[in-house]
């Protein structure tokens, strides 16, 4: 964004080692990790309250325990796994051997605040209602961001800028990374928080079928005895004025919970492109949805956001201590996240492409070998993809080379 005409000599300026734009899980974990390494970190959030509005189905595997201590205050439900329904009703029950606690349904409005609080406890400064609207450049080098803080324009200088600003990632675009996506790779989502419903108490439920969610799926995640997140996500290239995610959601709710009550409405977009561009530039890193760290086959991104944020914070700390903010130095982040979970994202992208290429008949055939109760060693995208490959070798054999 060209902000030269907006700059005033009186505009207040400040300096930090790192400024992180966006206080979701990716941004907060990045800030926390960098602060733990002794850096001067500023984490800014454009909304007036962290964790609000919620734009997430809120389900996550128990791997989250690697990053944060579980607190019942922000866990709405503990689930055995998921039940997936194919277009013809084929039922696939996925759970984990040896445990009845495979995943959690979070209370994101509380969970995100906890992560930001942990960043503060580590030494980071956090500010809400602070909206970045441009990148500061000197001699074509990124030096910080322009931001509006509760009505005041300020210059925030930093050695490294982190874009944790979600699917739109204007930070990335202003910094020279083309973050635009094809419509087919941006899923339009609508979700209701409902009460006076009777969801499954032990499982999240996923529903596939063009009449339910074209090139996407619907979900029900219980949040208590009589409440649930009920949502629909559809591919952006099939959504239009007459076929909105909200329209499919309303039809789904009428079918499943005709007597339920809606107490919150949530709308948003999810990037399901897989990692399609570099996530670093000189003085700049992207994390979370901005980096497209979302599994294209499940739409899950909380764990990838936290894993990527931790890696980013560690690499940033090294770069600051070495006073080397070059793209070449920051590429350690790119190489590390690709090693940690990049293959799963690429495999998910390939699986999505393969599944979307199937006609209705073949899509049903894909589900048939999976029917019944599947117990895996861990509740993860990797374990799920392995099982899919094992049971559908002719359809998914091309994923083998990616994963092994």
Distance between CA atoms of residues 231 and 244, nearest Å: 12
Cis peptide before 53 (omega within 30 of 0): yes
Give me the residues paired with residue 95 across strands. 81, 375
| Parts of the chain belonging to CATH 3.30.9.10 | 183-271
The answer to whether residues 264 and 307 touch, using CB atoms and an 8 Å cutoff, is no
pLDDT at 388: 77
Q: Tell me the pairing of strands 81-85 and 91-96.
A: antiparallel
Give CATH 3.50.50.60 domain extents, the chain.
Answer: 4-52+110-181+274-349
* CATH topology classification for 4-52+110-181+274-349: FAD/NAD(P)-binding domain (3.50.50)
How far is it, in rounded angstroms, from Cα 179 to Cα 186?
12
- Laid out side by side, the sheet with 103-106 consists of 59-61, 103-106, 75-79
CA separation for the pair 329, 14 (Å, rounded): 25
Assigned CATH topology for domain 183-271: D-Amino Acid Oxidase; Chain A, domain 2 (3.30.9)
Q: Which residue stretches of 188-323 are H helix? A: 245-256, 302-322
Q: Which residues have CB under 8 Å from 15's CB, separation 6+?
A: 144, 157, 158
pLDDT at 232: 96
Query: Averaged in consecutive runs of 10 residues, what is the pLDDT profile of the chain (404 residues)?
Result: 54 96 97 98 97 86 91 94 94 91 94 97 98 94 96 97 94 93 90 96 94 94 93 88 90 97 93 89 97 89 95 98 97 97 87 82 87 86 77 61 48
The angle subtended at Cα 321 by Cα 23 and Cα 335, nearest 5°, is: 65
Cα(215)–Cα(201) distance, rounded to whole angstroms? 27
pLDDT computed for residue 404 by the predictor = 47
What is the Cα–Cα distance from 64 to 266, expressed in whole angstroms?
A: 23
């Amino acid at each position: 964004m060209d902000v030269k005409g907006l700059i005033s000599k009186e505009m207040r300026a400040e300096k930090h080692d790192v400024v992180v734009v966006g206080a979701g899980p990716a941004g907060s974990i990045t800030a926390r990790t960098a602060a733990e390494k002794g850096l001067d970190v500023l984490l800014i959030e454009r909304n007036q309250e962290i964790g609000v509005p919620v734009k997430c189905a809120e389900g996550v595997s128990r791997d989250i325990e690697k990053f944060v201590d579980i607190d019942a205050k922000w866990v709405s439900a503990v689930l055995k796994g998921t039940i997936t329904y194919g277009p013809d009703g084929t039922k696939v029950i996925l759970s984990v051997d040896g445990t009845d606690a495979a995943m959690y349904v979070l209370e994101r409005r509380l969970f995100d605040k906890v992560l930001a609080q942990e960043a503060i406890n580590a030494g980071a400064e956090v500010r809400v209602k602070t909206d970045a609207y441009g990148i500061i450049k000197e001699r074509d080098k990124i030096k910080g961001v322009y931001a509006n803080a509760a009505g005041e324009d300020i210059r925030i200088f930093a050695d490294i800028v982190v874009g944790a600003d979600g699917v739109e990632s204007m930070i990335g675009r202003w910094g020279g990374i083309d973050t635009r996506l094809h419509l087919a790779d941006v899923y339009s989502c609508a979700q209701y928080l409902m009460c006076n419903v009777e969801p499954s108490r032990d499982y999240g439920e996923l529903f596939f079928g063009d009449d339910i969610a074209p090139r996407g799926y619907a979900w029900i995640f219980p949040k208590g005895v009589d409440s649930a997140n009920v949502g629909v996500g559809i591919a952006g290239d099939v959504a239009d004025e007459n076929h909105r995610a909200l329209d499919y959601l309303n039809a789904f709710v009428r079918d499943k919970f005709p007597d339920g009550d809606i107490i919150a409405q949530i709308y948003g977009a999810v990037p399901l492109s897989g990692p399609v561009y570099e996530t670093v530039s000189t003085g700049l890193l992207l994390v979370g949805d901005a980096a497209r760290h979302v599994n294209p086959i499940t739409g899950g991104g909380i764990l990838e956001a936290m894993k990527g944020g931790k890696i980013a914070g560690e690499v940033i700390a090294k770069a600051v201590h070495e006073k080397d903010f070059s793209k070449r130095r920051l590429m350690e982040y790119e190489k590390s996240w690709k090693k940690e979970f990049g293959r799963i994202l690429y495999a998910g992208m390939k699986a999505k492409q393969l599944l979307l290429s199937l006609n209705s008949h073949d899509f049903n055939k894909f589900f048939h070998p999976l029917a019944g109760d599947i117990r895996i060693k861990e509740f993860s995208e990797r374990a799920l993809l392995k099982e899919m490959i094992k049971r559908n070798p002719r359809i998914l054999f091309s994923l083998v080379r990616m994963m092994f």
